[in-house]
A and B are shown apart, each in its own frame.
Chain A
Amino acid sequence: MGIQIAFWILAIVGVVAALAVVLLRDIFRAALALILCFLIVAGIYVTLNADFLAAMQVLIYVGAISVLIILAIMLTRDIQRGSPSNKLRIPAFVVAILFLGVVVFTMTNTAWQVASVSPQEPTVPVLATKLFGEDGFILPVEIVPLLLLAAVLGAIVLVREK
């Protein structure tokens, strides 16, 4: 029962925050709504028994990515112009609604094979075994630092003063 109430509150606040991100004209307020949306998603992860990922969501998205986005807004702020829509506003709305309709139709009409086993808790030991153990995801784990290194180097090269 508690999970249900939590899910509905989180879902409604999350959708409202996401709408605020795309509809507010003030880009800084939109960024604040985005942070709220990230926090709400962390709560949704908790209702899905994903404790480690909820912590990671707060650390990475709320902690790091939001700071990056707000820093970029501060560096490039266009106060008079705000964040208006472009000419494609109506077609974009139609596309989004059509996409939502198709997705909801497919999802409600598919017979998902839901397992009746109660979920794993806590998830950290299982995740660690999967990531670093035999027959796990060790190759992607080795590739990811390369990607991060490339991203960091690329970002430095792009913003460096000539």
Chain B
Amino acid sequence: MSIGLEHYLILSGILFSIGLYGALAKRNAIAILMSIEIMLTAASIAMIAFSRYVVPLLLTGQIFVIFIMVVAAAETAVGLAIIISIYRKRETVDATEIDLMKM
């Protein structure tokens, strides 16, 4: 059986679900950020698979992936800066204990 578009899409779906589970179920804020990275990567795989199989000559999906990478890098930098500054003030990175804005 040759590898087709569906294989890559299902792989991307599996990775996205794993990241979704991690983002919802983890306590550590850095672990949540890592799960979000997995989700972004899964989206990139789907983009490149569509670009490779549906419009092989245009490569528009690969352009989108370049922008996804930029946004992911910016998101990681700002997210980790927020986590480190919270850790300085409250000595914890547990997302269930960071409830300053809860009513």
Least distance between A31 CB and chain B CB atoms (Å) = 7
Given A21-B38, A103-B17, A131-B63: A115 and B55 within 8 A (CB)? yes
Given A53-B65, A99-B20, A117-B57: A44 and B27 within 8 A (CB)? no
Interface residues of A (CB under 8 A from B): 3-4, 7, 11, 14-15, 18-19, 21-22, 27, 30-31, 34, 37-38, 41, 44-45, 47-50, 52-53, 56-57, 60-61, 64-65, 68-69, 71-73, 75-76, 78, 81, 83-89, 91-93, 95-97, 99-100, 103-104, 107-108, 112-115, 117-120, 123, 126-127, 130-131, 137, 140, 144, 147-148, 150-152, 154-156, 158-159
* Contact B81–A86 (Cβ < 8 Å): no
Given A96-B18, A99-B17: A85 and B25 within 8 A (CB)? yes
* Contact B15–A56 (Cβ < 8 Å): no
* Contact B54–A113 (Cβ < 8 Å): yes
Contacts of A113 in B (CB 8 A): 54
* Contact A78–B26 (Cβ < 8 Å): no
Task: Confirm or deny: B98 has a beta carbon within 8 angstroms of a beta carbon on chain A.
Answer: no
* Interface size range on B against A: 35 or more
Select one of A97, A108, A147 contacting B74, CB under 8 A: A147
Given A41-B45, A86-B96, A127-B63: A69 and B80 within 8 A (CB)? yes
* Contact A93–B21 (Cβ < 8 Å): yes
Contacts of B25 in A (CB 8 A): 22, 85-86, 88-89, 92-93
* Contact A120–B3 (Cβ < 8 Å): no
The 6 closest A-B pairs by CB, nearest first: A22-B22, A92-B24, A151-B74, A96-B21, A92-B25, A155-B81
